[in-house]
Structure 1
Amino acid sequence: MSQRPTGAVVLGGSLSGMLAARALAPYAGRVTVVERDALPTGPRPRRGLPQARHAHQLWSGGARALEELLPGVTDRLRRAGAHRLPVTTDMVVLSPQGWYRRWDESHGMLLCTRDLLDATVRALVCADERIEVVEHAEALGLGCPDGTVTGVRVRVGDAPERTLRAGLVVDATGRASRTPRWLAELGLPAPRTRRVDAGVVYASRLYRAPEGARDGFPVVNVQLDPRSRGPGRGGVLLPVEDGRWLVTLYGTRGGEPTTDAGDFERYARRELRHPVIGELLAGAEPLGDVSITRTTANRRHFYERMPGWPENLVVLGDALAAFNPVYGHGMSVAAQSALALRSVLGRSGWHAPELARSAQRAVARPAGAAWELAVGQDVFFPGAAQGGPSLRERLSAAYVGRLAYTATGNGRVARRVTDVMALERGAHILLAPSVLTAAAAGPLKPELSGPPLTKREREAAGMPL
């Protein structure tokens, strides 16, 4: 391993790939990002990222990792119009167990469009002279003599195929990753893979918020209920830059929203468990058409558990684990995974034996935490997973449901729950004796009868008091 060449290649130029390149640059010396599309200049749509049209959020655990990788990025995003909202102070959330109260701040949430976030990160990463982006390039396969990855075969445009030599190759190509096929070509067994698909369809639309609600308005989230016998339906309203609201509606099989702009507000008002989002949209101005996405399944490759793993290959982002976007964890996991990759390099050094194996295990940890949160809910929808939920998942869901119910009227438990949801701490904290005792006792305050919007917020949005 002392002969490991300098330089790294990152496959994929989306958020995961850019952050991985940033993490690698101080150790690899030079990093080449291979991107099949042309990357836009500024906050504009990217061809290969249709999910960018839907609601995104960066939980505080992800925002902190992003800031560690790119110091100053948070201030830059906020100057461009991104909002930092305190959790749960500026959140109006109907959970399956009832309305949450707006407790004192425990964590934060960074909100903006995906286009703005990607453009800001891309500009900072590409300003690093050690990082080069090759566009219109397709990765064809790995250079892998004797089980060690030494580079990647690529074709740029119509040019002949060539090989980019690298001491480390990172696959950040998302759901379309070819790594399972490449591993098979190397004679390695298929990784254990699990897919949980609740059949969720997302429909999103931008709105100009009412003038008085363009600054300081809370997130409004009507969650679906996995316990219901029929299709699950939900929606979220996020304040984003330029005085706009980004609204995403979603439903499982049999309850899907459509691309019909005329039906969007009807769905929000009549199909969700509470009409608050539809009521808010009555005073807002629609901007553009409805965007729809059907690729929302949870899917994870357990590469870290494979008995054999090729030297010099790491897989992260959606190529490793893709989540139902409703939980808002994908971008946070991307940032935490890139930070985990950097930590392994800093601790072990570029020439460490089995560096890729160590890195693969490290990036699997944040992905695994988000995976448990997503699958623990989605597995209960009909047809989501072969065999349905396991006994462990049933027991875990029952306890988490009890915690969520307790959190509607207990601020201390609500903070512990948001510790986990914000990817700040592991789920083990929910088994602390004090939390177990509180869950057994239940909520300390009575159930709220409606959304906890303030009088000022209702007035600003044009809602009846």
Structure 2
Amino acid sequence: MSSTEKAIIIGGGISGKLAARVLSDVYKEVIILERDSEHAGPIARKGASQGEHLHALLHAGEHGLEELFPGITEKFYDSGAVKINSTIDLAWFHHGAWKVRYDGGYSTTLQTRPHLEWHIEQYIKRIPNVILRYNQVVEDFLYNKAENRITGVQLKNGSLKADLVVDASGVSSLTSKWLHKRRTPIPEEKVEINLSYISKQFQLAENHERDWRIKMVYPNPPQEKIGGTISRVEGNRHIVTIMGYHKAVNEKEVLKDESGFIELSKKLPRLDIYQEIEYATPLTKTSFYRIPHMVWRRFDKMELPNGLLLIGDTICRIDPVFGQGMSIAILEALSLQKLLQTGARQKVSAAFHKKAAKIISPIWNMVITEDFRYSATTGKRPFGLSIQQWYAKNIFLLSSQNQEVYDAFVKVMNLVRPITTLMTPSIIKSVLSHAFSRIHK
């Protein structure tokens, strides 16, 4: 290994830390440049304004994180994260029906994003060839035009050279700005959803009859636009996140006084969450986060400078309602790890962007199939949309009564099985039978 082999990562969020973990196996030195200050504990970062809201690791993400950071799951539990049985401890009202509850043998970890991210950071700090530098503002790339190569980064104070630069700076990335400044078009897919996230933490009253640890009340589109989740997290707290599509939530109304959030919870399809928090003790202020659109920048379809690699939200910001963002980043990191293990580092960027597109594509299509149930959603519609929506709707409704169908859906939703899992002969038969019975009711 050459002594000059250095990798720089722009952004110390989750995707940046994941990239650092896999790059540390093959690069002599890995430097993470993080804009925020260092925190002494699991506190939401200014640069991750979505951190105040509910986050989840899907099964594929949780398994992948454990593979990258052995023992981290137990660290979560040791410091208060909540381990649940995914199909018993989750009460899920979806498209007007409660999912069937049964023991599928799956587990999920409930915790806040700052708690999860802080534990990843502690692991990163123990890797000897990874350096975390805080309060770093990256202003530009260092670029060798003759070789069409990114050779490092220009900081507010000084510059750093590297053999590889990874942009993990998020949706408003340095790469996008840099290409725009050079009038280089980026092929992209964009879907307007005008989503608002509103969250608050509570201390709930003791209730021995409470038979769930996380409860989700999702809207039944297109009539309903507001949904919500209440989840237990570390510290015997509960976080409530309410989301609304297409400006269904009036921010001023929610923030006008302390009762605004409680009043908003009354607008959910069911009053379950309202009844839990009506007399609960609020622990935090009300936090807002807006996602006007999903965007998938198709870096796999363009020629980027050598020495530049993109990961996480820098490539694709997806609708967070489905909880797939962090898991996508983990799957990307695992894919990058496999590519690096082949030793083909010179061509790793282009190969990785193609691999990332294969990870994102089925998830993107699954998500926009749901988002296009609202007529106000704009963007490129997938082929066969109405058929996909019809089939998915029947899967959702069957999940309230048919354990085989729900079990298959759980695997697909958690990214451990492909969408074709929901198209076996027995499930197709169940869907057709269910659809026929609905027509003749």
1:310 aligns with 2:302: no
Residue 288 of structure 1: aligned partner? 284
Q: CA deviation at 1:138?
A: 2.0
- Report 1:57-456 matches (<5 A): 57-145=56-144, 146-156=146-156, 159=157, 161-162=158-159, 164-184=160-180, 189-212=184-207, 217-228=212-223, 232-257=225-250, 258-260=254-256, 261-269=258-266, 271-295=267-291, 297-306=293-302, 308-346=303-341, 348-349=342-343, 351-386=344-379, 389-442=381-434
The offset of 1:186, in angstroms, is 6.2
Cα distance change on mapping 1:355 and 1:4 into 2, 3 Å: farther
Q: Could you tell me which amino acid in structure 1 is paired with residue 30 of structure 2?
A: V
How far 1:340 sits from its partner (Å)? 1.3
Q: Which amino acid aligns with 1:425?
A: R
The 2-side partners of 1:148 and 1:175 are apart by 24
Amino acid at match of 1:262: S
- Residue pair 2:369, 2:382 contacting (<8 A) in 1 also: no
Deviation at 1:72?
0.6
Is residue 196–residue 299 contact of structure 1 (8 Å, CA) maintained in 2?
Answer: yes
Superposition deviation, residue 393 in structure 1 = 2.4
| Shift of residue 20, structure 1, vs aligned partner | 0.8
Q: 1:3 to 1:393 in 2, by over 3 A?
A: farther
Change in 2 beyond 3 A, CA 1:296/1:325: farther
In 1, Cα distance between equivalents of 2:20 and 2:309: 12
CA contact (8 A) 1:209 1:284 kept: yes
Distance 1:375 1:33 in 2: 33
> Equivalent residue of 1:332, what SS?
helix
TM-score (norm 1): 0.87
For the residue of structure 2 that corresponds to 1:234, the secondary structure is: strand
C-alpha RMSD of matched pairs (Å): 2.5
Counterpart amino acid of 1:313?
A: L
What secondary structure sits across from 1:176 in the alignment?
coil
Whether the 8 Å contact between 1:43 and 1:116 is mirrored in structure 2 is: yes
Give, in angstroms, the shift of residue 147 of structure 1. 4.7
Tell me the residue number matched to 1:456.
none
> 3-state DSSP class of the match of 1:238?
strand
Tell me which moved more, 395-404 or 351-360: 351-360
Instruction: Give 1:386 shift.
Output: 3.7
Partners of 1:248 and 1:331 lie apart in 2 by 17
* Cα shift at 1:383: 3.0
Kindly provide the amino acid, as one letter, of the partner of residue 205 in structure 1: K
Instruction: Give identity over the alignment, percent.
Output: 24
Shift in Å at residue 253 of structure 1?
A: 2.8
CA distance in 2, matches of 1:305, 1:420: 27
Indicate if the aligned counterparts of 1:111 and 1:240 stay in contact, CA closer than 8 A: yes
Residue 290 of structure 1, CA deviation: 0.8
Alpha-carbon deviations, 1:256-311, whole Å to 9, x = none?
15234312122212x111111111113522112211111353111111122x2332
Secondary structure at the counterpart of residue 119 of structure 1: helix
**Structure 1: gaps of 5 or more residues:** 447-465
Q: CA deviation at 1:362?
A: 2.0
More displaced stretch, 26-35 vs 94-103: 94-103
Q: Is the 8 A contact 1:317 1:333 kept in 2?
A: yes
Offset of 1:151 from its aligned partner?
2.6
Alpha-carbon deviation of 1:36? 1.5
Distance 1:400 1:244, change over 3 A: same
Instruction: Give 1:428 deviation, angstroms.
Output: 2.3
**Amino acid aligned to 2:48:** L
Note closer, same or farther for the CA distance 1:147–1:4 as it changes in structure 2 (3 Å cut): farther
Residue identity opposite 2:161 in structure 1: R
Structure 1 residues 210 and 303: alpha-carbon distance in aligned structure 2, compared to 1, 3 A threshold: same
Instruction: Work out the CA distance in 1 between the residues paired with 2:79 and 2:359.
Output: 28
Q: Distance in 1 between matches of 2:70 and 2:382?
A: 42
Q: Give the aligned residue type for 2:54.
A: A
Moved more, 213-222 or 433-442: 213-222
Contact 2:192 2:379 in 1 (8 A): no
Offset at residue 5 of structure 1 (A): 4.9
Q: Confirm or deny: 8 A CA contact 1:62 1:335 kept in the other structure.
A: yes
User: Are the aligned partners of 2:214 and 2:230 in contact in 1 as well (CA < 8 Å)?
Assistant: yes
Do the aligned partners of 1:83 and 1:112 also contact (CA within 8 Å) in 2? yes
**1: distance between equivalents of 2:208 and 2:83?**
15
My pick for the range that moved more, 373-382 or 405-414, is: 373-382
CA contact (8 A) 1:139 1:152 kept: no
Q: Is the 8 A contact 2:140 2:155 kept in 1?
A: no
Q: Output the CA distance in 2 between the equivalents of 1:3 and 1:128.
A: 19
* Structure 2: runs of 5+ lacking an equivalent: none
Aligned residue for 1:199, secondary structure, equals strand
